[in-house]
Structure 1
Amino acid sequence: MLERYGHGGDLRTAEETFGFPARQFIDFSSNMNPYGPPDGVRRVLVHYAEQIDRYPDPAVRGLRSKLARLHRVDEQSIMIGNGAAELIDLVVRALKPPVTALAYPCFTEYGDAVMKSGGKIEPIMLSSDNSFELTESMAEQSKAKFYMIGSPNNPTGQLVDPALIMKLVYNGATVVVDEAFMDFIPEEEKLTLIREAANHERLFVIRSMTKFYAIPGIRLGYMVGAPQQIAAMRRLQVPWSVNSLAQQIGEAVLEEKDYALRTMNWLQEEKPWLIQKLEGLGLRVIPGNVNYLLVQLPGVPGLTAATLQYEMGRMGLLIRDASHFIGLDESYCRFAVKLRHQNEWLLEALGRCLSKFREAGRA
């Protein structure tokens, strides 16, 4: 099982399982920008050795200032973290909700954070019948006063209506919105709740900088909330949790406007093409909004997400077995959208695997 530690992108486990060096795998199991880090990252790395003997800025002022200008919010409403994962854990530890509503399937670290804090989970089970969309009637079934919501959601890729989220807040709930993949949405400016979060004590937005800019090894994310709430959480944060290299890279990538435009143009062209090809192979594709696709395998004897993952891994391609997400069964996989030649390799390998299982079923 490649998801031994709960995530995709575990190349060490892939090496141990399939016997190839990490560089030989094409990794569709983690949802990174396939263009790799922008040039600004390399420029930072070239000069970083001269500064490694200095402490990082404990307040991360440079990056916070740039993000404040980008989102047009008060700098005091922004908190930088060691990846979005640190901030998910921190917001739950700080607010200590006795009961948290989670809409399944969702990112597993939401539930992990709740359980570690001693809280309870009230599940909202999304349905494949409406492509796992969180509707108002579903959300309002919960009696919880604390929600953690992914928008776009992982692994479904579905957006949640901002008006629905704000209605929960106005009705007295505290809502944490994980917008880790919002950068990939062309209508980001209309859909993000960052500015609302900066002015409301019961709304928090968490963003990742690692997916869009392909820097997962650095660990960098940020949270936006009302200044007094952010100040209280900052007092609970481990000192210097964001190292100086991450801070400098964060500032550099925000200047990469051409890279961002190139990424958006690629995704708008490549994703519809890949969806069409996957459907042509007999897979059901959930109509998400981001740079990954949740797919349901056809009903072929012996074909499951786990068996397909193993067969694909033997060919050097890694996919995500999505059955490990609560609310999904063994027929669901998740694929990242990559560059055309990589997606063609994925499709060729999928076709070979599906033919193999279909022929075995007829034998």
Structure 2
Amino acid sequence: MLERYGHGGDLRTASEVFGRSAESFDDFSSNMNPLGPPPSIRNVLAGYLEHIHAYPDPASRALKKTLANRHGIPENAILVGNGAAEIIDLAVRAIRPGITALAMPCFDEYGDAVRKLGGEIYPIPLDAAKAFELGEAEIGAAIERSGADLYMLGSPNNPTGRLVDSGLIYRLLDSGAYVVLDEAFLSFVPDEGKVTLVQAAVQHERFIVIRSMTKFYSVPGIRLGYAVGKPSTISRLRKLQVPWSVNSLAQQIGEAALMDAEFEARSRQWLVTERKWLTDELRRMDMQVTPSEANYLLLRLPESSRLRLSASQLQLEMGRRGVLIRDASRFQGLDHRYIRVAIKLREQNERLLLALSECLGAAKDGSGDSA
């Protein structure tokens, strides 16, 4: 099992399982921007030795100022954290919900954070026939039946890549519940400035928006994210955060990355083109591809009585060929035929398609493993 720790991108486990060096894999199980990190980060790394002797700023003030200017919000409405995972944990601890409603499938960390505090989960099942879109019917039913005091949603959702309509968020807030909206992948959306709800979060004490900087800027090794909310709400989260949660290198990298407008524009342009190309190619292989606004695609293996191959088996067959994919059947609400793949550069995407073609062809011919 490659998702030994519940996530993709575990190259050490992949190396142990397949007996290959970590560098030899094309990793489609991790959703990082293949154009990154931005060139500006190299300058930060080159000069960091001059700063490593000092404690980091415990309030990440320079980075918060940069973020505040970008979003047009007060600095005290922002909390910088050690990746989105820390912010999720802090938000749940601050709210302490009895019942949390989750639109499933979704990021496992949501439910894990709730269960650590003994909270209950109310699942809102997303329908594959509706391309996993969260709609008015699902939200209305949840408000009526769940008794949830917290709704935690991803926009774009992981693993589906679907955005959440802002009208649904406001309806949930009007119901009296808290809403935590995870916008970790929203930076990949071309008009994200118009779609993000960070400014709305500043105005509402029961609304928190979470952003990640590691995916878009391709720096997952440093762990960097932030929360936006009403200053009084952010203050509650800050009191629960351990001191020096965000190291000084992460703070400097965040500042530098946010200044690189050319990198941002190039990344969004790349994704629009490459996502359409890869989607079209996968559909030619009879894959069911969920429409996505993010830098990853949720796929269901072709419907064929001759193809007796599960997601976990395909993951192993692909790994033997040096290509890592996510076994999406591990997300609650998805069956054994779902996988998730990141979108990468054309040459890498072509290798993904070749490996998929080989594995699926072998399964149809009867030479691969059967379920």
TM-score w.r.t. length of structure 1? 0.98
**How far has the Cα of 1:166 moved from its partner?**
1.0
Tell me how many residue pairs correspond in the alignment: 363
**How far has the Cα of 1:145 moved from its partner?**
2.2
Match of 2:25 in 1: 25
Matches within 5 A, 1:149-168: 149-168=153-172
Match of 2:345 in 1: 339
**How far has the Cα of 1:139 moved from its partner?**
1.4
**How far has the Cα of 1:190 moved from its partner?**
1.8
- C-alpha deviations, 1:291-349, integer Å up to 9, x for none? 10000001344311111110110010000000000000110000100000000111111
Residues 1:98 and 2:98 are matched in the alignment: yes
- C-alpha deviations, 1:68-102, integer Å up to 9, x for none? 00000010000000000000001101110111000
The structure 1 residue matched to 2:318, chosen from 306, 309, 312, is 312
**How far has the Cα of 1:233 moved from its partner?**
1.3
Match of 1:59 in 2: 59
The residue identity in structure 1 corresponding to 2:352 is L
Distance in 2, Cα, partners of 1:37 & 1:248: 13
**How far has the Cα of 1:117 moved from its partner?**
1.2
Match of 2:360 in 1: 354
Instruction: Specify the SS of the correspondent of 1:229.
Output: helix
Task: Determine if contact 2:296/2:341 at 8 Å carries over to the other structure.
Answer: yes
Task: Determine if contact 2:104/2:125 at 8 Å carries over to the other structure.
Answer: yes
The structure 1 residue matched to 2:211, chosen from 191, 207, 210, is 207
Instruction: Specify the SS of the correspondent of 2:88.
Output: helix
The residue identity in structure 2 corresponding to 1:181 is F
The residue identity in structure 2 corresponding to 1:311 is E
Residues 1:140 and 2:146 are matched in the alignment: no
Residues 1:186 and 2:190 are matched in the alignment: yes
**How far has the Cα of 1:42 moved from its partner?**
1.0
Distance in 2, Cα, partners of 1:340 & 1:39: 21
Match of 1:177 in 2: 181
The residue identity in structure 1 corresponding to 2:116 is K
Matches within 5 A, 1:325-336: 325-336=331-342
Task: Determine if contact 1:285/1:294 at 8 Å carries over to the other structure.
Answer: yes
The residue identity in structure 2 corresponding to 1:256 is D
Distance in 1, Cα, partners of 2:100 & 2:352: 38
Distance in 1, Cα, partners of 2:363 & 2:125: 31
TM-score w.r.t. length of structure 2? 0.96
**How far has the Cα of 1:104 moved from its partner?**
0.4
Moved over 6 A (4+): none
**How far has the Cα of 1:217 moved from its partner?**
0.3
Matches within 5 A, 1:280-299: 280-299=284-303
- C-alpha deviations, 1:175-207, integer Å up to 9, x for none? 000000000011212211100001110110000
Instruction: Specify the SS of the correspondent of 1:186.
Output: coil
Task: Determine if contact 1:301/1:361 at 8 Å carries over to the other structure.
Answer: no
> Quick one: percent identity of the two aligned structures?
57
Task: Determine if contact 1:274/1:343 at 8 Å carries over to the other structure.
Answer: yes
| RMSD across aligned positions (CA) | 1.2
Matches within 5 A, 1:184-333: 184-299=188-303, 300-333=306-339
- C-alpha deviations, 1:253-285, integer Å up to 9, x for none? 001111111101111111101001001111010
**How far has the Cα of 1:29 moved from its partner?**
0.3
**How far has the Cα of 1:163 moved from its partner?**
1.0
